Amino acid sequence: MPPDDCRVEVETVAPDRTTSFRKEHEREARSTEWNFPVVWHEQQHEVAALESVVVVGVLGLWIAASLAHVDSIIVAPSRRRCGIGRALLGRAESLAKYYNCHKVTLQTPADGVARTFFEACGYKLEAVLQQHTWKRDVAVLRKFLL
Ligand SMILES: CC(C)(COP(=O)(O)OP(=O)(O)OC[C@H]1O[C@@H](n2cnc3c(N)ncnc32)[C@H](O)[C@@H]1OP(=O)(O)O)[C@@H](O)C(=O)NCCC(=O)NCCS
């Protein structure tokens, strides 16, 4: 049994309820976790392909700790196979380099056409997560930038 002062109620809360706790403790927690002094600075970038003012493709990029992660990349169906996906990824890689990332990573179905696209753009298989998203095998792909 934990001592009385360790008994807590665990609840689901709105994200802003924990903002000040995270601000106070995140740096110490990351430094403890990685066993070196960490300045943890997360960034989200949204990249868009524009035809005049119309958005025809998007890419979401997350950057932290020298690592860039492509959250999603979507090209409008009518605009596929004309280089927009490759251009979005290229822009994401330039951003990642600018922020000193050594690597870009992403996850995609192990047997899907998106994997063919990423491999055509120079991404290599790093691992396969078995029975992962939707219980399907997921490929972790990566490109080293440096
Ligand atoms: C995957 C996706 C982003 C690719 O965008 P795109 O603009 O069509 O890709 P590009 O035209 O830049 O393709 C670059 C290369 O990738 C390969 N490629 C792209 N789509 C392919 C497909 N459906 N089948 C086989 N190869 C493909 C080709 O080698 C292509 O070069 P090529 O056309 O000169 O042969 C787009 O198909 C898409 O939005 N799919 C649905 C969403 C998705 O699966 N996103 C990925 C995970 S979040």
- Nearest-atom index, ligand 1, CA of 108: 47
**Residue in 102, 113, 26, 89 with CA at minimum distance from that of residue 63:** 102
80 CA distance to ligand 1 middle (Å): 7
Residues near ligand 1 (Cβ within 6 A): 72-75, 80-86, 108, 113-114, 116-117, 120
Quote the radius of gyration of the chain (alpha carbons, Å): 19
Alpha carbon nearest to ligand 1 atom 17, residue: 117
- The tens digit of pLDDT for each residue in 60-88 reads 999 999 999 999 999 999 999 999 999 99
CATH fold group of domain 43-144: Aminopeptidase (3.40.630)
- CB burial class (10 A; 0-12, 13-18, 19+) of residue 86? middle
What gap in Å lies between CA 146 and CA 125, rounded to an integer? 18
- CB burial class (10 A; 0-12, 13-18, 19+) of residue 109? middle
- The tens digit of pLDDT for each residue in 28-45 reads 999 999 999 888 889 999
